[in-house]
Amino acid sequence: MAANKLKGELRTKFGKGAARKERAIGKTPAVIYGHGSDPRHITLPAHEIALVLRHKNAIIELELDGKTETVLVKSATKDVVTQVIEHVDLVEIIKGERVHVEVPVHVVGESQSGTVIDLEHKTLKLEVDATTIPEFVEVIFNKEGIGFHVTAGDIKLPAGAKLDLDNHVLIATVIATGAGAAEEAAVAPVVAEESPKAE
């Protein structure tokens, strides 16, 4: 995942009122955590960070106080009505450090007609190098029928990544749709009852 370049500013005023004023001038309050140091309160350009947050586990090359450092977006809070980003939590990372992250599962391909792919896990937890976090992992289907399934051990992971799940855990399976089940019933062989013989 490519890093995004943003410029932040140290924040000296705190509280809801101060945060509201920052957002009013196009800045989003944020906090940087990590490596035993005290949390640092900053602001980020609101439009730019909103674009970055479209991607899960985004990495940012942050220019702050004349220095550049790498941070990982850990979480963000939004106003439930306006959807404006109110606050962002960042974690400082260093080259070679491994982190635990949750990434989306993307289904590639499709199953047979009359079936659907039932996704048991929409996200998966991975342990990866902090600077090479994948945007998603794929589960691949190629017109398989009912009963075909993908387990954690079947998933191809990026180099160096480890899945925080046992290999036998079910990730996705092919099941019949309502229409597919009805179709199967319609073509099932019917055994005719013998008419009673006339005496």
Q: H/E/C letters for each residue in 24-47?
A: HCCEEEEEEECCCCCCEEEEEEHH
Claim to verify: residue 22 and residue 55 sit in the same structural domain: yes
pTM of the model: 0.69
Query: Contact, 120 vs 158, CB < 8 A?
Result: no
Domain boundary among 94, 123, 139: 94
Claim to verify: residue 109 and residue 87 sit in the same structural domain: no
Domain boundary among 58, 74, 94: 94
Check whether 8 has a pLDDT greater than 60.
yes
Query: What is the distance between the alpha carbons of residues 83 and 167, in angstroms, rounded to a whole number?
Result: 38
Q: Name the pLDDT band for 173 (thresholds 50, 70, 90).
A: very high
Claim to verify: residue 76 and residue 136 sit in the same structural domain: no
Structure tokens at 163: 């899945």
Q: Is residue 196 part of a domain?
A: no
Claim to verify: residue 48 and residue 113 sit in the same structural domain: no
CB atoms inside a 10 Å sphere around CB 126: 22
CATH number, domain at 81?
2.40.240.10
Please tell me the total count of domains within the chain.
Answer: 2
Check whether 198 has a pLDDT greater than 60.
no
**What mean pLDDT is predicted for residues 57-69?**
92
**Domain residues for 13?**
4-94
Check whether 17 has a pLDDT greater than 70.
yes
Mind listing the pLDDT tens digit for each residue in 95-109? 778 888 999 999 999
Claim to verify: residue 83 and residue 17 sit in the same structural domain: yes
Structure tokens at 100: 């635990």
Query: Contact, 130 vs 98, CB < 8 A?
Result: yes
Domain boundary among 41, 74, 94: 94
